[in-house]
A and B are shown apart, each in its own frame.
Chain A
Amino acid sequence: MSVIMETQGVYKAFGGLMALNQVDVKIEEGKISGLIGPNGAGKTTLFNVLSGFITPDRGRVLFKNRDICGEDPYKIVHLGLARSWQGLRLFEHLTVLENVAMSLPRGKEEGALKIILGSWVKNRRKVQRATEILELVQIKSRAQVPVKELSYAEQKLVAIARLLATEAEVLLLDEPTSGLDEKTVNLVIAPLLKELVAQRGKTICLVEHSIKLVFNMCDWVFCLNEGQIAASGRPQELRQDEELNRVFFQTI
């Protein structure tokens, strides 16, 4: 497998706080990578840098061998990289279906006039695609419900559905299981993420606090601490590192 995305010597400081310090990560295509670390380690800042919402002070972010530093976030989505948010950031006044349909890319047949004046509900391709995605994340039955009326677990699923609707190949998931019970994680989220990679050709990078989940799901893990990569490797290798277990994993 090849590297689809990497950062090279990324620095980012906020005033006197060094949020990211010489961060080098390589995300392999078709794999699940995990990013773990204590609160304030710089995980979300790294996601913001990768997705274009923050420009690093120094360093490069390469996506498919193209430097995407300084690109507009929406253009990065068009290139094939999309992210979810820790705080979900769903369109609360829209229905589940609307949230997903809105996030679908513009079709080749859609001119500006059709976008502005054509009814999206009558766009069969859009509705069908959005419905398929809702079916995949097992929330189709709630399609017509406004998002703000859903439970937190259902909203998490909508966030994943919306991310899939962008049709990006690389998905950055910021704490996809936080706040969910173990049953939902094991029966819904974990199998779904595995299916996305195994059967739908997606590449996933996720930020998680659950070490157990990361070790069970990820092919490669990056341990971030105080803005630096403290360690990285396959889960089984990291698990056997006693020093890392004692100093790092106990603090998360």
Chain B
Amino acid sequence: MDYLLHIVIIILINIILTVSFNILLGYTGIFALCHAAFYGIGAYTATLLMKNLGLPFFPALACAVGVTVLCSLIVALPGLRIHWDYMVIFAFSFQMVVYHLMINWVELTRGPQGIAGIPPVTILGFTFDSKISFLLFSLIVTLAVVYLVKRIESSAFGLVLKGIKDDEIAVKSVGKPVTAYKITSFAIAAGLAAVAGGFIAVYISYISPGYFDLHTSIFILICLIFGGMGSIRGAIVGTVVLTALPELLRFIPYLPSTMMGGIRDLIYATILILFMLYRPQGIVGKASR
């Protein structure tokens, strides 16, 4: 039972990641493969504030969101002024730099060993230390994030983001400041990834750079492509299926555990190639729109 609850909690946290990445890639059309970096910055900031300064979870999470939003500006401000192809490389480089900082800035992050003993969330004297209580807690937060993204999708801001994806120059010609809109969408996506980071930290009570590497950014991307870019439902379906699917591998008899990582990557790569070739709109998306 605990194992099942664990999978559901991971799915909920991953949903925060994919629906926030959807703001960038699905609505605005910005291909920035560095979402795991924002996830990691959020996780490390919240962890360090809780462990070193003794801040409670929510103030630490708020600071983590703030720090991550500021970091997102490092990518967005110069990156969104350059041509699309260079932006892709720029974001990719940011992902690599952040990952290597997590590994090599040992005094702050404890390097590859990671940080253990992260305190659980406590609200009004109640500690969310059981799986079921944490599941309910993360369900509420994930629903809140999904609702927020839904509001963004149906707002005037969301409409402009979709316009930017269609034709950036046309958006300028109707009087909208494209760069400001893109920077804002970047900041919102990064801030929400930081929320997921704070949650994974207090849930597992341990973080290490491995959680926030390029693999994770690619995983988020594949979830979105599989489910359907530009659709909240697609992002959720993609995340649920692709988070749960590799877990089924555990039940295949005689499969050595050392091979599971490789097989999982093989499945993801196959899904990515097949969907890009035959169903680029994803499982949920409509072919015509």
Binds B, one of A14-22, A60-68, A85-93: A85-93
Chain B, interface residues (CB within 8 Å), range: 20 to 34
Q: Which label, helix, strand, loop or mixed, suits the secondary structure of the B interface?
A: helix
Q: Within the complex, what minimum Cβ distance (angstroms) separates A223 from chain B?
A: 26
Scan residues 143-200 of chain A and give those whose CB is less than 8 A from a CB of chain B: 146, 162, 165-166, 168
Q: Which residues of B contact A110 (CB under 8 A)?
A: 156
Q: Which residue of B lies closest to A84 (CB)?
A: B173
Q: Within the complex, what minimum Cβ distance (angstroms) separates A198 from chain B?
A: 24
* In contact, A121 and B162 (Cβ under 8 angstroms): no
B175 is an interface residue with CB less than 8 A from chain A: yes
Cα distance, A74 to B175, chains bound together (Å): 4
Q: Within the complex, what minimum Cβ distance (angstroms) separates B234 from chain A?
A: 15
Q: Within the complex, what minimum Cβ distance (angstroms) separates B150 from chain A?
A: 10
* In contact, A115 and B173 (Cβ under 8 angstroms): no
Cα distance, A119 to B147, chains bound together (Å): 12
A83, A118, A162: the one contacting B156 at CB < 8 Å is: A118
Interface string of A84-106 (1 = CB under 8 A from B): 01000111111000100111011
Q: Within the complex, what minimum Cβ distance (angstroms) separates A15 from chain B?
A: 20
Contact A91 to B156, CB < 8 A, known contacts A72-B177, A73-B173: no
Cα distance, A91 to B161, chains bound together (Å): 11
Contact A115 to B155, CB < 8 A, known contacts A82-B173, A102-B174, A105-B175: yes
8 smallest beta-carbon distances between A and B, as pairs = A77-B175, A103-B174, A89-B170, A120-B156, A91-B166, A116-B157, A102-B159, A117-B151
**Which residues of chain A have a CB within 8 Å of any CB of chain B?**
51, 53, 72-74, 77-78, 82-83, 85, 89-94, 98, 101-103, 105-106, 110, 115-121, 123, 126, 146, 162, 165-166, 168
**Which residues of chain B have a CB within 8 Å of any CB of chain A?**
148, 151-152, 154-157, 159-160, 162-163, 165-167, 169-170, 172-178, 184, 188, 288-289
